[in-house]
Amino acid sequence: MDVRNSRGRRYDEPPHPYRNDYARDRDRVVHSRAFRRLEAKTQVFTTRYSDHFRNRLTHTLEVAQIARTVAGALNLNTDLAEALALVHDIGHPPFGHAGEHRLDALMRPYGSRFDHNLHALHIVESFEQRYLAFPGLNLTFEVREGIVKHSHDYSKAEYPELSEYLLDLRPPLESQLIDLVDEIAYNTADLDDGVEAGLITIEQILAGVPLLNNFYREIEAKHPVARRQLLFNEALKRTLDYFATDLIENTLRNIKNSGVQSVDDVRAYAFTAAKPASAGVTPSGILFSTGPNVVLPEAAPPEPMRLAAFSREPALASRELKRFLFANLYNDPSIVEDRDRGVTALDELFRYYMDHPDAMPAFYAAEASAPAEAGGRAAHLVVCDYVAGMTDQFLLRTHRELIGS
């Protein structure tokens, strides 16, 4: 994506003398309060295990590093890819996806919903207040579009408010990469942190993740007296490299085979294939077999295929790795205990603020009580914004102060 062909910003601004628009977007994200708050939002592990584990901010930085590398190898716009990677998780509420699901459930009785991608768009469009000349961060169209479309497609019929983001077209390749490099980052990092936490062992991983086991045995044969942890670290590094390299090579193949010549071609490219009963689809849309134990409906609708994708074997390996993590790490009782405690506190605090809106800071309380013509909004929307913006520990501390342990 050539920045000179950007569709621009919602509010016109003069060009910067030495930074292009995507670089400015990247910098605006980094300087936002919502980005800084990611440092205190859980990725998988809370700080009770160690100060060394990934949080949502360090995870985001790892995603950005991989995204920039992959985009550079594909001769794409690295500034755009980096900006998208840095902003992709900015809409996450406290306690990760569990917190997101609970907030969504809390919003449904009011006829609303919560989706972290759409909340990220709300943050950069209006919620973040840093600039005198405009609300939000005034990011370029391509970054805002990527926030919406990097991980899946939204229906125009179901989300008419997003119609400006070309929902019937695919996003540029820089955006298509983000969900895949996110997957690379968390799959490998969660294995690393799981071993560090003592919740899974290297032996378990070698027995349950054939791809990593193969790398480990190759390295062990060459370094038979090396420390086990260092052998594991090297195998983990090779696993990450395996996925990143395949993403680069397979995307290049797809670009060549598709015949696309421009960003408009990429947007319009949407080869579809009906899913057979024994097929699955990765988040990027690539088809692969899920084996005899997973049966999808015979009449599953066609899925749009994206050009940025893993090839078949790495897609299967990634799926296998995820299954291992869900079976052996994400549902570990100690992690579930922390997660459930946080989600329960989120639920109770949301309900408390709905009953006591004046307990929120003055700005939010006034917005929740003012009429629409005076800048007010429905109380559930204001409460959702306030709670979603909290860090994990701030939410727990506020819950203790207002409701009790």
At 336, the amino acid letter reads: V
Please tell me the predicted confidence (pLDDT) of residue 50: 59
Pick the closest to residue 387 from 94, 170, 117, 115 (CA basis). Answer: 94
Buried b (16+ CB within 10 A) or exposed e, 245-269: ebbbebbeebbeeeebeebeebbeb
Q: What percent of the chain has pLDDT over 70?
A: 89
Res. 115: pLDDT tops 60: yes
Taking each helix axis from N to C end, the angle separating 210-222 and 312-325, rounded to the nearest 10 degrees, works out to 100
Please give the backbone phi and psi of residue 341, each rounded to the nearest 5 degrees, phi first.
-60, -45
What span, in angstroms and rounded, lies between the C-alpha atoms of 248 and 243?
9
DSSP string computed for 300-335: PPPEEPPSS---HHHHHHHHHHHHHHIIIIIT-HHH
Please give the backbone phi and psi of residue 279, each rounded to the nearest 5 degrees, phi first.
-115, 155
Are 60 and 82 a contacting pair, CB within 8 Å? no
Per-residue pLDDT tens over the stretch 254-284:
999 999 999 999 999 875 443 433 333 433 3
What span, in angstroms and rounded, lies between the C-alpha atoms of 56 and 90?
9
Please tell me the predicted confidence (pLDDT) of residue 271: 54
Please tell me the predicted confidence (pLDDT) of residue 53: 76
Please tell me the predicted confidence (pLDDT) of residue 374: 75
Q: Is 312 exposed, middle or buried (0-12, 13-18, 19+ CB in 10 A)?
A: middle
Least confident range of 47-51, 74-78, 232-236:
47-51
Q: What is the mean pLDDT of residues 11-18?
A: 93
Per-residue pLDDT tens over the stretch 316-345:
999 999 999 999 998 888 888 888 999 999
Please tell me the predicted confidence (pLDDT) of residue 205: 96
Report residue 302 as tokens: 């066609």
Please tell me the predicted confidence (pLDDT) of residue 289: 29
Pairing of strands 287-289, 303-304: unpaired
Considering the chain, what is the average pLDDT of its residues?
88
Res. 295: pLDDT tops 80: no
Q: What is the mean pLDDT of residues 385-404?
A: 94
pLDDT category of residue 286 using cuts at 50, 70 and 90? very low
Angle at 151 between CA 215 and CA 243, to 5 degrees: 15
Please give the backbone phi and psi of residue 55, each rounded to the nearest 5 degrees, phi first.
-110, -175
Per-residue pLDDT tens over the stretch 193-227:
999 888 899 999 999 999 999 999 999 999 999 99
Q: Which residues pair with 303 in a beta bridge?
A: 273
What span, in angstroms and rounded, lies between the C-alpha atoms of 75 and 72?
5
At 113, the amino acid letter reads: R
> 327 to each of 204, 233, 322, 330, 353, how far by Cα in Å?
11, 22, 9, 7, 36
pLDDT category of residue 172 using cuts at 50, 70 and 90? very high
The residue among 49 and 96 whose pLDDT is bigger is 96
Pick the closest to residue 9 from 106, 110, 143, 102 (CA basis). Answer: 143
Report residue 77 as tokens: 């716009």
Res. 6: pLDDT tops 70: yes
Please tell me the predicted confidence (pLDDT) of residue 302: 44
